[in-house]
A = this chain, B = another copy of it.
Amino acid sequence: MNAEVVENAPVSFHRAEKDLPFVPYQDGVMFQLLQVNIEAGLWVVRVRAEPGATFQRHKHTGQVLAFTSCGSWRYLEYPEVNTAGSYLYEPAGAVHTLIVPDSNDGITDIWFAINGANLDLDSDGNVETVLDAGTVLEIYRAQCKAFGHPAPDVIGA
């Protein structure tokens, strides 16, 4: 360690809440794409879901870390309810269906760091769609454009 190493150290990358827009992902769900690392297969996303929102059952091919800021949600397959301050670790291989209770009062706000792909499954367990860093970036850019936002400055894009 010496001064030169410290001077050459990489900087960090900050995005304030207002730096990147929340845009529709699906009915009752808005999202903000914070970071993609397409080569590594990492995508970091913040999701705001209205009461009653659900996400198609999917299998993960990598680890997921989730931190909940407000609201409440759970996976249909597990009993635990995520609320403000909850942390959830999802191993690779996990298969589940995200549900936000109808009975919630307001928005549920979840930050996810997702490694690998979400393999969205049909009712027979076949892979219907592959959602990964590359495809989520395409979706985010298209939705930003469609809703009149400038090209978003996603970290790593």
Contacts and interface: CB of A to CB of B under 8 A. Distances in A.
Given A11-B94, A93-B132, A87 B116 contact: no
B16 A85 contact: yes
Contacts of A67: 67, 111
A46 B67 CA distance: 10
Interface residues of A, number: 66
Given A92-B41, A121-B1, A14 B80 contact: yes
A133 to B, nearest CB: 7
Contact of A92 (B16, B95, B133): B133
Interface string A88-102: 111111111000000
B132 A10 contact: no
Contacts of A144: none
Chain copies in the assembly? Answer: 4
Interface in A12-51: 12-17, 34-35, 38-41, 44, 46
B116 A83 contact: no
A78 B127 CA distance: 27
A91 B133 CA distance: 12
Contact of A59 (B12, B46, B130): B130
A82 to B, nearest CB: 7
Interface string A102-137: 000000000101011101010001110010111100
Contacts of A89: 12-13, 34-35, 44, 155-156
